[in-house]
Amino acid sequence: MSTIEHKTEPAVYVPLGLIAPSPTNPRKRFKQAKIDELAESIKKHGVIQPVLLRRNPAWHDGNGQPPHELVCGERRWRASKQAEKPTILALIRDLTDFEALEIQLLENIDRDDLHPLEEAEGLQKLLHPGEGMQGYASVEELAAKIGKSKRWIYLRLSLLNLCEPAREAFLDDKLNASVAGLIARMPNEDQQRSALKRILEGFGGEPLSFRASAEFLRKEFMLDLSLAPFDIRAVFQIAGPCSDCKKRSGASPDLFDDVKQGDMCQDSACFRAKQHETWELKFAEAEAAGHTVLRGVAAITLMPKPTALPNGHLWFDQPAPTLTADKRILSEIFGAKQRGVITLEHGPSGQILRIVPETDARKLLKSKNLLRPPAAPTPAPPPKPTLSDAATAVQAPSSSASPAAPQPRSEQTLAAMRGERACKLFGVRAQTLLLERMNTQGLPLAALRLAVAQLAGDLTYEATALIYRAHGWDIPPANTFMSSAERAKAERDFLHRIVNMEDGRLLGTLLAQVLMAEELTDPYTLEDIEASNYDGEPTWTIATELGVADQVAALAAEAEKEASSQIQAEEDERLGKNAAGDAFAAAHAPAKPGQVKYRNAATGETWSGRGLQPAWLKAAIAAGARLEDFTKEAA
Q: How far apart are CA 180 and CA 167, in angstroms?
A: 8
Q: Which residue has the higher pLDDT, 183 or 403?
A: 183
What is the per-residue burial (b if ≥16 Cβ within 10 Å, else e) of 613-634? bbebbbebbeeeeebeebeeee
Q: Is the pLDDT of residue 419 over 60?
A: yes
Domain positions in the chain are 12-142, 179-269, 289-367, 411-566, 588-633
Q: How many CA atoms lie within 13 A of 456 on its CB side?
A: 10
CA dihedral angle for residue 389, residue 393, residue 395, residue 401, rounded to 10 degrees:
100
Q: What does the pLDDT look like over 551-597, one tens digit per residue?
A: 888 888 888 888 888 888 887 777 776 444 455 445 555 555 555 67
Q: Cα dist. 352→238, 275, 313, 413, 456 in Å?
A: 21, 11, 16, 47, 18
pLDDT of residue 391: 44
Nearest one of 148, 75, 74 to 106, comparing CA atoms: 148
Position 132, amino acid = G
- Per mean pLDDT, which range of 72-86, 360-374, 468-482 is the poorest? 468-482
Q: Is 132 in contact with 53 (CB distance < 8 Å)?
A: no
Q: For residue 346, what are the contacts with CB-CB under 8 A and spacing of at least 6?
A: 299, 300, 303, 306, 352, 353
Average of per-residue pLDDT across 412-421: 76
What pLDDT shows up at residue 478? Answer: 46
pLDDT confidence of residue 489: 63
Give the residue among 255, 3, 254 at the shortest CA–CA distance from 106.
3
Count Cβ atoms within 10 A of the Cβ of residue 295 and give its class: 0-12 exposed, 13-18 middle, 19 or more buried: middle
Whole-number Cα distances in Å, 414 to 36, 137, 410, 559: 96, 94, 6, 15
pLDDT attached to residue 112: 52
Strand 351-357 and strand 342-346: the pairing is antiparallel
Whether domain 12-142 has CATH 3.90.1530.30: the reply is yes
Lowest mean pLDDT among 7-11, 74-78, 367-371, 588-592: 588-592
Higher-pLDDT residue of 100 and 398 is: 100
> Where are the strands (E) in 244-330, listed by range?
264-265, 292-294, 313-315
Highest averaged pLDDT of the listed ranges 242-251, 270-279, 590-599? 270-279
- Maximum alpha-carbon separation in the chain: 147
Percent pLDDT > 90 in the chain is 4
When pLDDT is averaged across residues 284-313 and rounded to a whole number, the result is 86
CB 127 within 8 A of CB 118: no
Main-chain dihedrals φ then ψ at residue 116, nearest 5 degrees: -55, -35
Lowest mean pLDDT among 8-17, 341-350, 528-537, 584-593: 584-593
Q: Give residue 336's pLDDT.
A: 80
Three-class DSSP category at 12: strand
Q: What pTM did the predictor assign?
A: 0.35
Separation CA 562–CA 418 (nearest Å)? 9
Tell me what the mean pLDDT of segment 492-503 comes to. Answer: 64
Please, what CATH class does the domain formed by 588-633 belong to?
A: few secondary structures
Range name among 235-239, 290-294, 321-325, 406-410 with the lowest pLDDT average: 406-410
**Average pLDDT of the residues in 141-149:** 79
- Please report, rounded to a whole number, the percentage of residues in the chain having pLDDT higher than 70: 72
| pLDDT tens digits for range 556-569 | 888 888 888 888 88
pLDDT of residue 380: 61
pLDDT level of residue 306 (50, 70, 90 thresholds): confident
Q: Which of these, 402, 403, 400, 408, lies nearest to 578 by C-alpha position?
A: 408
Q: How far apart are CA 540 and CA 454, in angstroms?
A: 15
Whether 634 shows a pLDDT value over 70: the answer reads: no
Helix H or strand E encompassing 277: helix 268-288
Dist CA 91 CA 68 (whole Å): 11
With b meaning 16 or more CB within 10 Å and e meaning fewer, what string describes 470-494?
beeeebeeeeeebebeebbebbeeb
pLDDT band of residue 509 (cuts 50, 70, 90) is confident
Which of 70-79, 205-214, 356-365, 515-524 comes out lowest in average pLDDT?
515-524
The conformation of residue 630, written as its DSSP 8-state character, comes to G
User: Distance from CA of residue 515 to its chain's centroid?
Assistant: 20
d(CA 318, CA 379): 34
Query: Is-contact 359 485, C-beta < 8 A?
Result: yes
Nearest to 127 by CA among 153, 159, 94: 153
Confidence of residue 8 (pLDDT cuts 50, 70, 90): very low
Beta bridge partners of 354: 343
Give pLDDT, residue 480: 39
CB 95 within 8 A of CB 54: yes
Instruction: Evaluate if residue 45 carries a pLDDT over 90.
Output: no
* CB neighbour class for 280 (10 Å; exposed up to 12, middle 13-18, buried from 19): exposed
CA 305 to CA 303: how far, in whole Å? 6
Greater confidence (442 vs 84) lies with 84
Residue 84 has pLDDT above 60, yes or no: yes
Element holding 54 (H helix, E strand) = strand 51-55
Q: What is the pLDDT of residue 387?
A: 45
Most confident range (mean pLDDT) of 116-130, 179-193, 507-521 is: 179-193
Q: What is the pLDDT of residues 123-141, one digit of tens each?
A: 877 776 555 456 677 788 7
pLDDT the model gives residue 346: 77
Residue type, 410: S
Rounded CA-CA distance 520/539 in Å is 8
Mean of pLDDT values over 258-267: 66
Confidence of residue 481 (pLDDT cuts 50, 70, 90): very low
Categorize the per-residue pLDDT at 341 as very low, low, confident or very high, splitting at 50, 70 and 90: very high
C-alpha distances (whole Å) from 552 to each of 5, 534, 549 are 96, 12, 5
Contact by Cβ (8 Å): 208, 177: no
Q: Which of 27-41, 128-142, 447-461, 594-608 has the highest mean pLDDT?
A: 27-41
* pLDDT at res. 379: 63
